[in-house]
Amino acid sequence: MNITYSREMITVQSNILTHESEREVMLKRIIDLAVKGLANMFDEEKRLFCYRMRQTSDGIVREGVSRRYTIISLIGLHRYEAQGGQSPIDIQATLAVLLEDTEQIDNIGDLGLLLWLCALVSPKQLNKIFHNLDIKRSLEKYSDGRQGKTTELAWFLAGLSHSALASNQKANGQEDLSMQAFSMLKRNFGAKGIFGHMNKSSLAGILRGRIGCFADQVYPIYALSMFAKAYENKEALKIANECAEAICRLQGDLGQWWWHYDSLTGKVIGRCPVYSVHQDGMAPMALFALSEVSGLNFDTHIYKGLKWITGNNELGFDLIDTSQNVIWRSIYSKRYKMYYDEMLTLTGLTGNKRKHNDLRILFECRPYQLGWLLYAFADKQMERAISKAEGLHA
């Protein structure tokens, strides 16, 4: 059968192929950079990842170490390895370093991240961790648990959910603890689809609780997706969908994922700074996870946000620096202007559309950004490669 194509149909097909090709090039660029960048960020002597890489007058320097950033970096590198890549860091050996001194864990967020990592890398360690760290008491033991901080609760719920999925065991009180964490997280969810920062049981909560940062949105989306997957909880999936729809609706014209949101009104109250980790790591990994569980597709928003770091931003500056193997941290304004605008927006005195003429770039990069980037996109690059190969052999 002969098939004829109109010029319009050929043009559409060409645009689609060009679009897909651009994505492939972009993914290869940032994934290769992330692997090389994490290799540079690892402190061989302390056997942990650094706190940050910072540009100085003497060049780029590595500063401090961070156990939290080490955990997140390993989560990303594990996914990269699972897709056939070779981690520049020995993941099992570095995990062993983290487990040697679990007394360093002093918050429920880091505990959740450690459970998450162990569930992926070494599930046989989970029973030992649950016993040694008295996981059942953790929501009362740690202050961030008692305060009901959204991001930290989400990390904890994600860790518990991954543990349930990895061990295929939901006994020994683990499901009850997961339900408790879910209930606490749910209390911070506003009627407009936005999470606040913490519960309102304290003065800090009363003053700050309703204002959620971007992390307070994406980590719950991810955690609730995993919780729904592990326990087939429809309510959790519904909340995750509502939050995802809210942040996508509020996404900026250039794909910006904004900084602060009001859970009472469902509006953006603080736009700047825009962090590159939101664009290339946190939003993609949360929305991809929700897509896998719900069947919804957020690719348009994900890749629009990703283009922001390549120069489609307020300054027209490519934040990807392949010469240093870093992605620069943010575009920001003077701190007093940021908070001044937020207060005016919160009181209804301005629509938060004030333009700044002092935007600048923060020339630093933290390893957790590259870790989340790998966690979000490593398997997507492989999926595209497989799809392309199948198309060639069809």
CB 260 within 8 A of CB 208: no
| 3-class SS letters over 321-353 | ECCCCEECCEEECCHHHHHHHHHHHHCCCCCCC
* Single-letter code of the amino acid located at 138: S
Beta strand segments in 186-225, E = 211-213
Contact present, 14 and 28 (Cβ < 8 Å): no
| Rounded-to-integer distance, Cα 121 and Cα 91, Å | 8
Measured between its terminal Cα atoms, the distance across the chain in Å is 18
Domains of the chain and CATH, by start: 7-393 (1.50.10.10)
- Token pair, residue 4, equals 């004829």
CB-CB contact of 263 with 199 (8 Å): no
pTM for the whole structure:
0.89
pLDDT at 19: 72
Give 355's DSSP letter. Answer: P
User: Taking a C-beta distance cutoff of 8 angstroms, is the pair 240, 224 a contact?
Assistant: yes
- Predicted confidence at residue 386, as pLDDT, reads 56
What CA–CA distances, in Å, run from 136 to 106, 110, 130, 131, 309? 15, 15, 8, 9, 41
* pLDDT at res. 75: 98
pLDDT at 347: 55
Name residue, tokens 């001194």. 101
Structure tokens at 150: 């959204």
Task: Give strand pairing partners of 365.
Answer: 53
- CA–CA separation, 219 and 352 (whole Å): 25
Residue count of the chain, please give it: 394
The pair phi, psi for residue 303, each rounded to 5°, is -80, -25
pLDDT at site 199: 87
Q: From the first residue on, what is the mean pLDDT of each consecutive set of 10 residues in the chain (394 residues)?
A: 37 47 92 98 97 96 98 98 97 96 93 97 93 92 95 98 84 85 97 91 69 98 98 97 98 98 96 97 98 97 97 97 97 66 54 65 98 96 60 50
d(CA 315, CA 343): 25
Other beta carbons less than 10 A from residue 141's beta carbon: 16
DSSP conformation letters of 250-318: H--TT----SEEETTTTEEEE--PEEHHIIIIIHHHHHHHHHHHH----HHHHHHHHHHHTT-STT---
